[in-house]
């Protein structure tokens, strides 16, 4: 009763994160109602992602045809001996939007709650170590570990500090305190404690 094209769509899309079979089915009917042109636009936008490549140094994305490096890693004006380790590409985008960081990155890959580094994280870390070893100084000036400030982020931060301590002069983390626009009344004790210890 359900056309095969819809079944194929539901099967493919319900495997995506945060889309279950029900949501995929509903989405299919909405898309059909939205018309052939809209479907073609979406399908082309999706197919276009296949052209996106992963940077061989920091594992962010790029679409440069003749290089393996993203625009950040190939930018000679950025500090070559300063690295920020972030979990996801979207974290990198958020940091870049501040305009306050001019070093390089390592996209570590999404962390699990297992509390250990997975193979993908280890591979990427060894790429970073290799880059650092190729520096004239053989050491980074600073590595900023910018994981989310929660239990799992802190756990992984400690693992990374252990891994990288001989590779850099300085290891730092993002400062903690009350977020701009936040309210003292609703800040948790830990946050408030940090904001007192590191007052500006």
What is the contact surface with a copy of itself in residues (CB under 8 A)? Answer: 1-6, 8-9, 11-13, 16-18, 22-23, 25-33, 36, 39-52, 54, 61-63, 71-72, 88-90, 93, 96
Closest contact distance (angstroms) between CB of 163 and a copy of itself is 22
> Which residue, 27 or 178, has its beta carbon nearer to a copy of itself?
27
Question: Residue 93 or 135: which CB sits closer to a copy of itself?
Answer: 93
**Taken in order 85, 130, 117, 57, is the CA torsion positive or negative?**
positive
DSSP readout, 81-117? TEEEEESSHHHHHHHHHHT---SEEEE--PPPTTSS-
SS3 of residue 144 by DSSP: strand
Least distance between a copy of itself and beta carbon 13 (Å): 7
Would you say 32 or 192 has its CB closer to a copy of itself?
Answer: 32
**Minimum separation from the CB atom of position 181 to a copy of itself (A):** 18
Sheet holding 142-146, edge to edge: 104-107, 82-86, 142-146, 171-173
CB of 45 to a copy of itself, least distance (A): 4
């Amino acid at each position: 009763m359900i056309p095969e094209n819809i079944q194929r769509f539901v099967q493919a899309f319900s495997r995506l994160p945060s889309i279950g079979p029900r949501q995929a089915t509903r989405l299919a009917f909405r898309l059909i109602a939205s018309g052939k042109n809209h479907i073609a636009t979406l399908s082309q936008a999706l197919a276009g992602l296949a052209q996106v490549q992963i940077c061989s140094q920091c594992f962010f994305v790029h679409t440069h045809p003749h290089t393996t490096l993203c625009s950040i890693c190939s930018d000679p004006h950025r500090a070559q001996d300063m690295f920020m380790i972030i979990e996801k590409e979207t974290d990198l985008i958020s940091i870049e939007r501040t305009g306050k960081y001019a070093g390089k990155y390592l996209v570590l890959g999404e962390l699990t709650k297992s509390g250990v580094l997975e193979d993908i994280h280890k591979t990427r870390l060894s790429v970073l170590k290799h880059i650092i070893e190729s520096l004239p100084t053989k050491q980074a000036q600073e590595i900023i570990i910018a994981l989310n400030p929660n239990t799992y982020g802190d756990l992984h931060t400690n693992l990374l500090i252990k891994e990288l301590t001989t590779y850099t002069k300085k290891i730092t983390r993002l400062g903690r305190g009350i977020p701009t626009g936040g309210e003292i009344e609703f800040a948790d004790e830990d946050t408030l404690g940090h904001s007192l210890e590191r007052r500006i």
